[in-house]
A and B are shown apart, each in its own frame.
Chain A
Amino acid sequence: MDDAPVPPPRDDKNVEFKAVLLLILLAVLVAASAVYVMYARGAFEETQQLVLQADDSEGVFVGMDMTFSGFPIGRVRRIELAEGGGVRFLIDVPEKDAPLLTTSSVFTLTRGLVGGSNLRAFTGVPTDPPLPDGAERKVLIGDATAEIPRLVADARELMKNLTTLTGENSALATSLANLQATTDQLKGPRGALGVLMGDEANSKKLISALDRTNALLAKVDGIAAKADAQVFGKAGVMPEARAAVEQLNAALNEARTSLKKVDGILTDAQAVANNAKVATNDLGTLRAEIDTSLRKVEGMIDQLNRRWPFSRQPEIKLP
């Protein structure tokens, strides 16, 4: 037993080579995995920093993605308390994605019912200047779970109201009972009149009133027939009225003829006036002629006075 041989080495070279191969394989695998994980965590990316300010950091964790249209474009690198009691998220944005964010970009933090929170970026105007490195922005917080307590309270109140509404002594139940009594009455011998009038005497009164109304209507009918005869009959008002209208028509025609005559007279008068105007013009001519004649007479008398010197008196007495 003591001198049992040590197991002889089998094709050492080959095995050593294979062992080295295995070692190299392990080293390559581990190194590749390490590089891959570092790459996956963004160790080789050129980044710029963005600071988001919020009131609280609930649901946000280091390494969380910030998405833009569903694509991750940044990682939360640090979360720190701000001086005023708020929170600052320091976010690394790879430089190749940075142009997506502009100075007018909006950042939101939404908390869903299931799963974690989401940091999202929205860019309304892509032509705005790009966000500078280290820019600080406010983050808008939308919280789906915050609505739940209010919703539950509202629903509870609604249920309470509904319960009161449908309770045994509620108004709705009483109304329904009344409605049932009414329909029972409707089905009864007095029908709807009974429902409306309450007791039988009243409904009888109503029926008698209806009967009398019927009789009254019959009388009114007769009166209407008579009135018809008086108004539209042969000796009625209407034919007379028609005759009166015809007479009026004739009188109007006469009046029209008279007016035409007056028109003619007026035309004549106009003609007379015209003649008078012409006569007036002639009168003017006449007057001019008389003027001329008078001047001639005056000239003649002057000549006479010169030829007859014994008469010093240059006075002429017109006839």
Chain B
Amino acid sequence: MSSTPSSHVAGARLGSALVQWFVGWWQIVHLGALVLVLALSPSSYDRATRATLAREVYQATAPVLLWFLVLSSLISLVIIRIVVVTALSYGLSRYSLQMVVRVLVLELIPLTAALFVALRVAIPNAAEIAAMRVSSQFDALVKQGVDPLRREVLPRMMAGMFSVLMLVAVSCVVSLVLAYLTVHGFTTAAIASYTRAVGHVFSPAVVLIFALKTFFFSLAVALIPIATVAYEPRAAWLRTSAELQGLVRLFSVILLIEMASLVGNYY
């Protein structure tokens, strides 16, 4: 007899959790759509926003760029070496270059860049936004007649996206050069054959999937941590760690995107 009320309570809890889950994801999608619309409308870029945008873009990219470049170069060198030596020992060296390009440029570097930017840029940005909300700066901006979404959230999200794209572009180019140098050494004689091998990997479908994947990675990295703290009730944010929740959501989304890209590339 006593199980009925408790099961009701459990059902109600489950229902509310499900609703919260849906609401949370809906808020992320909603904010994403809003910010994208704002990003695509020229009226968003008034002088003050442009200044903030420039500052945020610079701060989100320049300090991490060098470190990420060093880190990704080291990892690339190790992986290129392992792949090339293993392929050579199996007598498959003609396939090693394609494998290097596929493993590094198509799969590892975008994923690493997204995670790196998430930890170094997006989470601190989200914390900043949360701090602004807590310290009622948003309210102050609203009182001044300024849209905080446009003034503070949009530049940070754009900066996060830009950072991911920048890191991916730079380190892909660097690892392509490193792969060439590791396989062929310091010579220009093999550029034609290397170009041909790269051309084999980058078929139009692969390029499209690579571009979409990188774009969605950058969008997820820039959007999810900020969206998680932007809509949480202030009290809830104080009580629980919204940052952690944002991180979990971000990782699951990145995982989904990566899986989708793998399915697209290899099935």
Contact = CB atoms under 8 A, between A and B. Distances in A.
Interface string A1-20: 11110100110100110111
A19 B57 contact: yes
Nearest to B163: A22
A1 B202 contact: no
Contacts of B26: none
Interface stretch (B2-10, B107-115, B193-201, B255-263): B193-201
Given A4-B140, A18-B62, A65 B51 contact: no
B187 interface: no
A258 B86 CA distance: 114
B170 interface: yes
Interface residues of B, number: 36
Contacts of A294: none
A42 B199 contact: yes
Contacts, number: 87
Main secondary structure of the interface of B (DSSP, over half): helix
B169 A22 contact: no
A68 to B, nearest CB: 14
A37 interface: yes
B198 A37 contact: yes
A18 B58 contact: yes
Contacts of A20: 54
Interface of B: 50-55, 57-58, 61-62, 91-92, 94-95, 135-137, 139-141, 162, 165-166, 169-170, 172-173, 193, 195-196, 198-200, 202-203, 207
A183 interface: no
B169 A26 contact: yes
Contact of B169 (A1, A3, A33): A33
B53 A115 contact: no
A33 B172 contact: yes
A156 interface: no
Nearest to B165: A26
B114 to A, nearest CB: 16
Contacts of A42: 199
A114 B202 CA distance: 23
B51 A16 contact: yes
Given A37-B199, A37-B207, A40-B196, A22 B172 contact: no
Given A19-B54, A22-B62, A63-B203, 7 more contacts: A1-B136, A2-B140, A9-B51, A15-B54, A18-B62, A19-B53, A72-B196
Given A22-B162, A40-B195, A6 B137 contact: yes
Contact of A3 (B140, B166, B196, B203): B140
Interface of A: 1-4, 6, 9-10, 12, 15-16, 18-20, 22-23, 25-26, 29-30, 32-33, 36-37, 39-42, 63, 65, 72, 114-115
Contacts of A41: 199, 202-203
Contacts of A6: 137, 140-141
A63 B136 contact: no
Nearest to B203: A63
A20 B95 CA distance: 40
B136 A4 contact: yes
B204 to A, nearest CB: 8
Nearest to A20: B54
A39 B195 contact: yes
A18 B58 CA distance: 7
A147 to B, nearest CB: 20
B236 to A, nearest CB: 19
B140 A33 contact: no
Contacts of B50: 16
